[in-house]
């Protein structure tokens, strides 16, 4: 079965892997493995790529910051079925998703013991993610076929409560993010289509159990690897729960399908640390409609009811519109005259409206350059973009010029575009909040703000005219998901780039001696949503009246508006209320956060006293700020209204 169809094919992947093996530097081999992981591959090629990357992965595994362009992440697999054969595919898929994955496999079938008892190897591994991968034959629900619906509901509830206990123990012991794999049916139906109407039939039991698992996971903040859904839609063909594989090796997933399984897990892991894509960039001619708008005119393009191709283009537009409703930014990158391209959005059957597009670039310049322009307009990285273009030549050029941009291979028929984009998992989510639903509109409004700023001659007057209002609240249940999302996605204005799971953020927020703030900003253009998160906590190396600013990050959408001054004001008030006299700020440099290297000195912090064993380089990155009445001079006090809800 062919898999990973959204990835391009390599002319000779085997030869390329062989050539890469000649590299003597482990990090250079890792870079090559990362590049080659972006091509379509089978089980054997994936295993070879894993061996190619192995030494380099070990070299970067201990680094808490991004190394070799990869985010280190530790994931533990606790399974009731054999998963060892899947590990190479998980690691290689991690490379393709921007992760340097270190994988721990608990002994077969010992998932309960690993979480309910002391497990020294797992504790030493200190997982950040834990996958609980169970199968239908593990502790099946023992019910007679004639059992009533009430009996089935009680058995399902008992089983789910056991899982919830395991989830809680995992959080308590490791503060790890849980991923629960749904249960794949293993037995053939007993009653044919009537199976679903018999409450205790094997298929009906598994279906009800999975529904209950999904509800519990939503309530408990547990992520899903919904393997049952993938099996139902045929993603794995007959590669799940094959009787021969099961009886021989207790393998739920066939080795041949390991690359697909690895990608499904890796995309969730990547999303959990903020590495999902956030912007869909669309070509126009023969992508959003059939024909060429410049030649055929608005009335001549194929779109809408009346023809199979017109309906297919409309369906793709509707899918893009749904992505926008869940928070994916939409942009246009087209070789066209701007006025002609925009006129097409007046077509009566356009599902997408011009107002849905946050960045609209149509000209006759190269698309790689225009994609750079779109990223700049939206203040996002190139690694946030997914570019969809029907033209294979344009796709190849963009892949070569901008390897950071995701460019899916597309099927010949536009009718299959939505399924292909969805299958690629570029926009995998780990939460969905009201802020997500308005993200596209917020980015469009920010483009308007930038346009107004470019015309301003008096910056202070411009900022005052924005009528900004900042609101700060302690991170609670309502702010937890979005705050964690921002912590894991923000790279540029991020003083330490520490990445935390929801459980870890919750642990800090629940500490009465810590300060955990969610900051929102509104102005005359609209609500910017959550724009900053600050986590500050006690540190055993500091004095009792010193508060360490563990994490301070801010969305690039509000840079240049002096918001950081107001945030410091709120933080200082909260720190004083908690009994602290001094704020300690830390800057941990990465490849992308150089813009905040002087953040603390600019806010009036002084260099922190140096421990006797500290290096000069280390001490230059630690700063302190004495808290007392009137200590803070808020440069933006006449510009920004500050409303804190504490």
List of residues 6+ apart from 594 with CB closer than 8 A:
none
Question: Do 396 and 518 fall within a single domain?
Answer: no
429 occurs within a structural domain: no
Question: Do 610 and 478 fall within a single domain?
Answer: yes
Last-in-domain residue among 272, 294, 328: 272
320 occurs within a structural domain: yes
Q: Among 298-312, 319-333, 448-462, 479-493, name the one with the lowest average pLDDT.
A: 448-462
> If residue 103 lies in a helix (H) or strand (E), which one and from where to where?
strand 99-105
Select the highest-mean-pLDDT range: 438-442, 466-470, 626-630.
Answer: 466-470
Task: Tell me: pLDDT of 167 over 60.
Answer: yes
From the number of C-beta atoms within 10 Å of its C-beta (0-12, 13-18, 19+), residue 613 rates as exposed
What local confidence, expressed as pLDDT, does residue 66 receive?
53
- Give how many domains the chain has, as a whole number: 3
Task: Tell me: pLDDT of 595 over 60.
Answer: yes
Question: Do 407 and 468 fall within a single domain?
Answer: no
Question: Do 71 and 217 fall within a single domain?
Answer: yes
Percent of the chain with pLDDT over 90: 75
With cut-offs at 50, 70 and 90, classify the pLDDT of residue 609.
Answer: low
Average pLDDT over residues 183-208: 94
220 occurs within a structural domain: yes
Question: Do 144 and 120 fall within a single domain?
Answer: yes
pLDDT digits (tens, 9 = 90+) for 40-70: 999 999 999 999 999 999 888 766 545 568 9
Last-in-domain residue among 424, 444, 478: 424
With cut-offs at 50, 70 and 90, classify the pLDDT of residue 271.
Answer: very high
- Bridge partner list, 530: 520
What local confidence, expressed as pLDDT, does residue 444 receive?
72
Q: Supply the mean pLDDT for the chain.
A: 90
How far apart CA 210 and CA 140 sit, in angstroms, is: 13
Average pLDDT over residues 411-434: 94
Average pLDDT over residues 542-565: 88
Q: Tokens 């199976």 identify what position?
A: 195
With cut-offs at 50, 70 and 90, classify the pLDDT of residue 552.
Answer: very high
Strand ranges (DSSP E) for 160-245?
177-181, 223-225
Average pLDDT over residues 109-125: 94
What local confidence, expressed as pLDDT, does residue 449 receive?
64
What pairing do the DSSP bridges indicate for beta strands 359-363 and 129-133?
unpaired
454 occurs within a structural domain: no
Average pLDDT over residues 578-597: 91
Question: Do 324 and 266 fall within a single domain?
Answer: no
CATH number at residue 418: 3.40.50.1000
Phi-psi region of 98 (alpha: psi -120 to 50; beta: other; left: phi over 0): left
198 occurs within a structural domain: yes
446 occurs within a structural domain: no
DSSP 308-333: HHHHHHHHHHHHHHHHHHTT-EEEEE
Question: Do 195 and 315 fall within a single domain?
Answer: no
Helices H / strands E in the chain, number of each:
25, 17
Question: Do 491 and 531 fall within a single domain?
Answer: yes
Q: Are 174 and 222 in contact (CB under 8 A)?
A: no
What local confidence, expressed as pLDDT, does residue 646 receive?
40
35 occurs within a structural domain: no
Task: Tell me: pLDDT of 122 over 90.
Answer: yes
Average pLDDT over residues 148-167: 96
Task: Tell me: pLDDT of 633 over 80.
Answer: no
State phi, psi for 208 to the nearest 5 degrees.
Answer: -70, -35
What local confidence, expressed as pLDDT, does residue 142 receive?
87
With cut-offs at 50, 70 and 90, classify the pLDDT of residue 634.
Answer: very low
453 occurs within a structural domain: no
Question: Do 596 and 499 fall within a single domain?
Answer: yes
Question: Do 346 and 390 fall within a single domain?
Answer: yes
Task: Tell me: pLDDT of 286 over 70.
Answer: yes
Last-in-domain residue among 236, 251, 272: 272
Question: Do 299 and 205 fall within a single domain?
Answer: no
Percent of the chain with pLDDT over 70: 91
Task: Tell me: pLDDT of 632 over 80.
Answer: no
Residue-range definition of the domain harbouring residue 184: 66-272
Task: Tell me: pLDDT of 215 over 70.
Answer: yes
Task: Tell me: pLDDT of 610 over 80.
Answer: no
SS3 614: coil
CATH number at residue 580: 3.40.630.30
What local confidence, expressed as pLDDT, does residue 62 receive?
65
Question: Do 521 and 395 fall within a single domain?
Answer: no
What local confidence, expressed as pLDDT, does residue 636 receive?
35
């Amino acid at each position: 079965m062919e898999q990973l169809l959204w990835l391009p094919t390599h002319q000779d992947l085997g030869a390329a892997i062989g050539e890469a093996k000649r590299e003597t530097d482990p990090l250079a081999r890792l870079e090559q493995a990362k590049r080659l992981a972006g091509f379509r591959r089978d089980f054997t090629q994936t295993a070879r790529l894993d061996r190619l990357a192995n030494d380099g992965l070990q070299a970067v595994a201990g680094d808490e910051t991004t190394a070799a362009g990869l985010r280190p992440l530790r994931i533990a697999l606790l399974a009731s079925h054999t998963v060892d054969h899947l590990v190479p595919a998980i690691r290689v898929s991690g490379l393709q998703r921007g992760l340097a994955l270190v994988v721990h496999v608990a002994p077969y079938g010992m998932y309960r013991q690993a979480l309910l008892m002391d497990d020294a190897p797992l504790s030493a591994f200190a997982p950040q993610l834990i996958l609980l991968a169970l199968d239908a034959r593990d502790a099946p629900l023992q019910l007679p076929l004639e059992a009533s619906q009430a009996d089935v509901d009680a058995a399902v509830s008992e089983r789910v409560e056991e899982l919830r206990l395991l989830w809680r123990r995992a959080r308590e012991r490791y503060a790890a993010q849980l991923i629960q794999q749904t249960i794949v049916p293993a037995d053939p139906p007993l009653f044919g289509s009537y199976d679903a109407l018999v409450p205790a039939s094997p298929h009906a039991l598994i279906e009800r159990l999975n529904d209950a698992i999904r509800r519990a996971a939503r309530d408990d903040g547990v992520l899903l690897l919904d393997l049952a859904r993938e099996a139902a839609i045929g993603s794995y063909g007959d590669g799940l729960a094959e009787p021969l594989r099961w009886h021989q090796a207790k393998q739920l997933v066939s080795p041949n399908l390991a690359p697909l399984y690895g990608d499904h897990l890796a995309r969730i892991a990547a999303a959990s640390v903020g590495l999902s894509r956030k912007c869909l960039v669309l070509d126009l001619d023969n992508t959003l409609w059939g024909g060429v708008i410049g030649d055929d005119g608005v009335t001549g393009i194929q779109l809408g009811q009346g023809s199979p191709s017109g309906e297919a283009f409309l369906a793709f537009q509707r899918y893009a519109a749904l992505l926008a409703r869940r928070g994916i930014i939409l942009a246009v990158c087209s070789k066209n005259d701007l006025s002609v391209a925009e006129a097409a959005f007046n077509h009566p059957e356009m599902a997408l409206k011009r107002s849905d597009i946050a960045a609209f670039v149509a000209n006759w310049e190269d698309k790689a350059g225009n994609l750079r322009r779109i990223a700049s307009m939206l203040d996002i990285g190139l690694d946030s973009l997914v570019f969809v273009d029907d033209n294979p030549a344009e796709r190849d050029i963009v892949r070569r010029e901008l390897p950071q941009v995701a460019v899916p291979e597309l099927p010949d028929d536009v009718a299959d575009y939505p399924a292909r984009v969805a299958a690629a998992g570029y926009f995998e989510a780990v939460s969905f909040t009201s802020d997500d639903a308005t993200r596209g509109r917020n980015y469009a409004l920010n483009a308007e703000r930038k346009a107004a700023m470019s015309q301003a001659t008096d910056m202070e007057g411009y900022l005052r005219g924005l009528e900004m209002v900042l609101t700060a609240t302690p991170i609670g249940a309502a702010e937890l998901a979005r705050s964690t999302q921002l912590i894991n996605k923000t790279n540029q204005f991020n003083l330490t780039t520490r990445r935390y799971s929801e459980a870890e953020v919750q642990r800090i927020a629940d500490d009465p001696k810590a300060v955990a703030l969610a900051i929102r900003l509104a102005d005359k253009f609209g609500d910017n949503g959550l724009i900053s998160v600050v986590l500050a906590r006690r540190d055993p190396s500091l004095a009792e009246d010193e508060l360490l600013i563990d994490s301070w990050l801010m969305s690039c959408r509000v840079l240049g508006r002096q918001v950081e001054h107001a945030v410091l004001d709120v933080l200082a008030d909260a720190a004083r209320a908690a009994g602290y006299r001094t704020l300690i700020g830390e800057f941990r440099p990465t490849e992308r956060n150089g813009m905040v290297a002087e953040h603390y000195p600019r806010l009036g912090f002084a260099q922190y006293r140096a421990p006797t064993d500290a290096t000069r380089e280390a001490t230059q990155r630690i700063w302190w700020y004495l808290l007392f009445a009137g200590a803070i001079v808020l440069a933006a006090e006449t510009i920004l209204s500050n409303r804190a809800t504490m």
